[in-house]
Amino acid sequence: MTYLLHRVLWTLPVVWGVVTLVFLLVHLVPGDPAQIMLGENALPGDVSALRSRLELDRPLAEQYGLFLGRVLRGDVGRSFISQRPVAQEIAARLPATAELMVGAMAVALALAFPLGVTAALYHGRWPDRLASLFALLGVAMPSFWLGPMLILLFAIRLDWLPVNERGGLDNLVLPAVTLGTALAALLSRMIHASLLEVMGEDYIRTARAKGLGERAVVWGHAMGNALIPVVTVAGLQIGVLLSGAIITESIFDWPGLGTLLLDAINTRDYPVVQGCVLTISITYILVNLATDLLYGWLDPRIRLHR
């Protein structure tokens, strides 16, 4: 309980800092935000009315206090384009982004575990070299290149999978593979390195000396400890998935938070931009908190030193 309270208390200042940066997003834009939103040919009266509507005519400290109060109530403003509350716009898009991230993580784990374990068990032999080649290619191929290549091959040339829509599982395959490939490459090397290190420990040699089979040694004794750094890296990579989802969603026209953010940037819908950035940042912070707690659960020694 002390460890949990300690981690939560350390998270609160980070959340406050993120909210503050999101508030400053509009004020850091060069020039008058209201003038930028309406365009150069806008009438002075319209600019003045928009400044009043956005509360930009109030002192900065007062604006900050009002913004904090609204965020605490779950209110991040109203969209200029749809006139709907930003929270409703985000809530409507979150399930699609969550579906894409879960699919990408499933692809990453499905590829990383067999490759990483096989590479560790056959260290220095051809399975290890093959896994290393996959990791190199996976990291080297950016999603904005891999996505269109997958579309050309599997959607256009072979006509196996649909694209540019959200529906069943087959609609999720190409975006999830595009987003999850780089993460799979990274995790496979982490699993390989971590498992290889653990397999050289004394307790592994003791387990083998007792006559346990290789499967029991790997999955019953080595894998639990080998997963600790892998869990940490996987949790930190959630932020990479969130940022990568913006590009992947735009490639596949996936109706998630990424396309909402890009559309809001293109239309200068600043309340929606603020809401999307705040949602992505808070999600990343909460996932890191969950990773810390899971890390402490997997290795009780962590809790004793915090």
139 class by beta-carbon count within 10 Å (0-12 exposed, 13-18 middle, 19+ buried): middle
Q: 79 lies in a domain?
A: no
Highest mean pLDDT among 35-44, 107-116, 192-201: 107-116
Cβ proximity of 161 and 249 under 8 Å: no
The reply to whether 62 and 193 lie within a common domain is no
269-286 pLDDT, tens digit per residue, is 888 888 888 888 888 888
User: Residue 5 pLDDT > 80, yes or no?
Assistant: no
pLDDT of res. 37 = 72
* CB distance 17 to 284 below 8 Å: no
Q: Are residues 46 and 108 in the same domain?
A: no
Q: What pLDDT does residue 177 have? A: 92
pLDDT of amino acid 122: 84
123 within a domain of the structure (yes/no): yes
Same domain, 90 and 33: no
In terms of domains, do 59 and 111 share one? no
Please determine, for residue 17, whether its predicted confidence score (pLDDT) is greater than 80.
yes
Average pLDDT over residues 209-235: 77
**45 and 99 housed in the same domain:** no
Per-residue pLDDT tens over the stretch 139-149: 888 888 888 99
**Both 30 and 153 in a single domain?**
no
Kindly state whether residues 122 and 14 are assigned to the same domain: no
**Domain end residue (candidates: 46, 72, 98):** 72
CA proximity to 185, closest of 261, 232, 116: 116
What gap in Å lies between CA 303 and CA 299, rounded to an integer?
A: 8
Count of other CB atoms within 10 angstroms of residue 101: 23
Whether 180 and 291 map to the same domain: the answer is yes
Residue 85: strand, helix, or coil: strand
pLDDT at position 296: 66
- 249 and 119 within one domain: yes
* Number of structural domains found in the chain: 2
Domain span holding position 32 = 2-72
Claim to verify: residue 249 and residue 117 sit in the same structural domain = yes
Residues 53 and 123 in one domain: no
Give me the pLDDT at residue 170, please.
Answer: 84
Is residue 191, in this structure, part of any structural domain at all? yes
Say what the pTM is. 0.81
Q: What is the structure's pLDDT at 293?
A: 74
In the prediction, which pLDDT does 152 show?
92
Same domain, 131 and 32: no
In a domain, 77, yes or no: no
